[in-house]
Structure 1
């Protein structure tokens, strides 16, 4: 028996390395009876505290138990993360896996096929997973691409996070998610509920039912104008109360939650009163809106990275269309201040980035901005774990490293409660008990052969 001070006890190192190369980690896990993770520090997302010296036992993709001290069972594979901080897999509640904004983004609807967006989504999904985000809500796409991507990931065909998708966002004619905004007259047409554009309660109900038919997990609506759409207003209300009430009531019938893009105050007030689950962006949120959100237990998903990005790009001549640029310059700089006020007033906050506006894989930049806005690092991490699971209504399955939950686990080298930017340098990623990323060491340096003592 030899001793490697960083990774633990090793025997037959060469044999284990050869086995790892030949059959891979999956092969080793099949021969073993579960996995044990030694965590030097473990973030307890239920309390926001760091626990020391814990062993996480994983069987069939789920956490079987978490115990004090280091104690590997016979025939378990050991993942030795004693020098790391171990956390639940991170969850991004506002992403767009099939988009990644750039100067040519406005031409893609004319020049790209659904397959092009699909392939981008495959790449974005893998980058997102390797950045430590094991679950995302995808809030808007075209052609049901993320429904197919979700199925491919679940089947193990491609690598990516667990996806909860809204499919096509629902808008009103000319609204933020009307896909024909900015087109010339003969290309505008008259999109309807199938395309995600409604006018009146009847078509609102039809649009929700269409999303259900297509396999969406939730509903996304654009209750106000937006920044990047080719339309004049970034904040005007764009749904009437009867339309919003029809959407929420129909979504409830089908077991779907409702996420709401909203910048302007009046649009937020209408949506909250209609009973939606979350407000995304929330730029012009004031005390009246905050009080209403608290009374209705409405979640806030801030998307600070998007605000930072549009502010930067609005200063670049020609990067954004002329109709978009003033909206970006006005709305972007306000978002951090809104977040700070909402956090101090006790609004429920779940982590979301609007990635797709920004680069996929850079999602953890949001943590840095949240802390800059006054949020405690532990609360920022809880927003992407414990609270995100509550928003998704999957708290029995995800959001913490707890007995019976899915084994979605990440690790970083430092202490993110002292330096939140550590979450931008994730070293280890496990989703559903399968390892997708490990520290840059040979396999034999990290994994102890099944049956060897810890």
Structure 2
């Protein structure tokens, strides 16, 4: 026979357990006036997105009423979209003018790590819940990724390349322009290679350092203190060694490139994306489509460097003519690539221009001729596809992570709305909600 005390304890335990279960199963219900799910070009009206934990559990037509313990987020006058994805950032640095070239001599790893925390918050507040980081100085973005994932600091999901890989004197050789007395001969550990064996070692080092993907500088660049911004800087066998080794470790390869020959070599080697792509032509477009390569334009960076090149003393003498010439061409390149049917993913090269201003790229891409819905999909669906993360990110669908943003207006009528994000949810947690 059960005593009154025992019955009381069992009943109390059952009630407490039931209450805990009810709380744990409470949902967040978002009432969206318009929904761009980004799995296609459709727009839905008056939709409820139900979030449980850190994932989207279901999507229902109309405004679903709240159950016990549910939370309603009223976005009935807003347009809801997947969390935005920027496929080209440098989240631990930001170009501030001539003083930027002195930073490697006066700042330490910790300084860049602290900068990264600040810039990560700005990026998330701008609606970008996922970024690819394509190059840092000390693998500080690996540490930042870990801190964000563990909830220690706010920021986007980071897929980082760590230090980029270059050849001696190449765009990502950080000793370019240094006096011989202080200049070191960098090797694969620092991301500078010569030959097949060093190419393989550099990839394996990045894997060891905790990188998610590989970034290489297949041609000269604009901001490096070196004469050419276009010349190819890897031999075919070096490129093939990098791509093959990266595949062994489940890593994709993103390629900085301005000149045509460097792009051609990289595409034939089997890379995943071409960044900037200034001097692409019909031959390169054809190759990219044949090999299913993504193009990440970064128009913002081109515009920014072209404007700064007009200022005396802003850039070193070797950099200024490159910035003036290459910068203005990227927008036209995107227009031609789009007409040719090349896969396009959104990327800004933020860290050249200011972090948090990423939304301007939407405006520039529409100005280049893309439809607003296609630009939004380039920053959602296509970003996730490029990352091989389409199973969990990039669209608003049941089972995916609850990464979502909203604007008060209709970005399909006015793409400038993407520069003023009113609501940001990442992993089921609300980070921005302007009232």
- TM-score tier, shorter chain, comes to over 0.9
Structure 2 residue 178 is matched with structure 1 residue 175: no
Deviations 1:323-378 (A, max 9, x none): 00000001001111100000010000000000000000000100000000000000
| Contact in 2 for aligned 1:353/1:363 (Cα 8 Å) | yes
| Contact in 1 for aligned 2:124/2:155 (Cα 8 Å) | yes
Deviations 1:408-438 (A, max 9, x none): 0111000000000101110000000000010
In structure 2, C-alpha distance between the alignment counterparts of 1:375 and 1:129, rounded to whole Å: 25
Provide TM-score, normalisation by structure 2. Answer: 0.94
SS at match of 2:174: coil
Match of 2:58 in 1: 65
SS at match of 2:418: helix
SS at match of 1:407: coil
Structure 1: 4+ residue segments shifted above 2 A: 29-32
Pairs within 5 Å for 1:194-343: 194-343=189-338
Q: 1:101 aligns with which of 66, 70, 95?
A: 95
In structure 1, C-alpha distance between the alignment counterparts of 2:319 and 2:36, rounded to whole Å: 41
In structure 2, C-alpha distance between the alignment counterparts of 1:94 and 1:49, rounded to whole Å: 27
In structure 2, C-alpha distance between the alignment counterparts of 1:223 and 1:378, rounded to whole Å: 31
In structure 2, C-alpha distance between the alignment counterparts of 1:171 and 1:234, rounded to whole Å: 14
SS at match of 1:163: strand
| Contact in 2 for aligned 1:55/1:72 (Cα 8 Å) | no
SS at match of 2:181: helix
| Contact in 1 for aligned 2:137/2:162 (Cα 8 Å) | yes
Structure 2 residue 150 is matched with structure 1 residue 155: yes
SS at match of 1:44: coil
| Contact in 1 for aligned 2:165/2:191 (Cα 8 Å) | yes
Deviations 1:249-306 (A, max 9, x none): 0000000000000000000000000000000000000001110101000000000000
Match of 2:71 in 1: 77
SS at match of 2:245: helix
Match of 2:161 in 1: 166
In structure 2, C-alpha distance between the alignment counterparts of 1:302 and 1:87, rounded to whole Å: 22
| Contact in 1 for aligned 2:86/2:130 (Cα 8 Å) | yes
Provide TM-score, normalisation by structure 1. Answer: 0.90
Match of 2:362 in 1: 367
Match of 2:373 in 1: 378
In structure 2, C-alpha distance between the alignment counterparts of 1:359 and 1:379, rounded to whole Å: 24
Shift in Å at residue 72 of structure 1?
2.8
In structure 2, C-alpha distance between the alignment counterparts of 1:140 and 1:210, rounded to whole Å: 14
Matched length: 412
Match of 1:52 in 2: 45
Q: 2:383 aligns with which of 367, 388, 394?
A: 388
Shift in Å at residue 76 of structure 1?
1.2
Structure 2 residue 418 is matched with structure 1 residue 423: yes
Distance 1:164 1:30, change over 3 A: farther
| Contact in 2 for aligned 1:137/1:164 (Cα 8 Å) | yes
Structure 1: gaps spanning 5 or more residues: 1-28, 441-454
| Contact in 1 for aligned 2:25/2:52 (Cα 8 Å) | no
SS at match of 2:256: strand
In structure 2, C-alpha distance between the alignment counterparts of 1:32 and 1:272, rounded to whole Å: 48
| Contact in 1 for aligned 2:91/2:141 (Cα 8 Å) | yes
In structure 2, C-alpha distance between the alignment counterparts of 1:82 and 1:411, rounded to whole Å: 10
In structure 2, C-alpha distance between the alignment counterparts of 1:269 and 1:333, rounded to whole Å: 22
In structure 1, C-alpha distance between the alignment counterparts of 2:137 and 2:330, rounded to whole Å: 27
Measured on the aligned residues, the alpha-carbon RMSD in Å equals 1.0
In structure 2, C-alpha distance between the alignment counterparts of 1:163 and 1:121, rounded to whole Å: 11
Shift in Å at residue 73 of structure 1?
3.8
Shift in Å at residue 31 of structure 1?
6.4
Shift in Å at residue 50 of structure 1?
1.4
Match of 1:446 in 2: none
Structure 2 residue 188 is matched with structure 1 residue 189: no
Match of 1:414 in 2: 409
In structure 2, C-alpha distance between the alignment counterparts of 1:324 and 1:413, rounded to whole Å: 41
In structure 2, C-alpha distance between the alignment counterparts of 1:59 and 1:232, rounded to whole Å: 54
| Contact in 2 for aligned 1:126/1:160 (Cα 8 Å) | yes
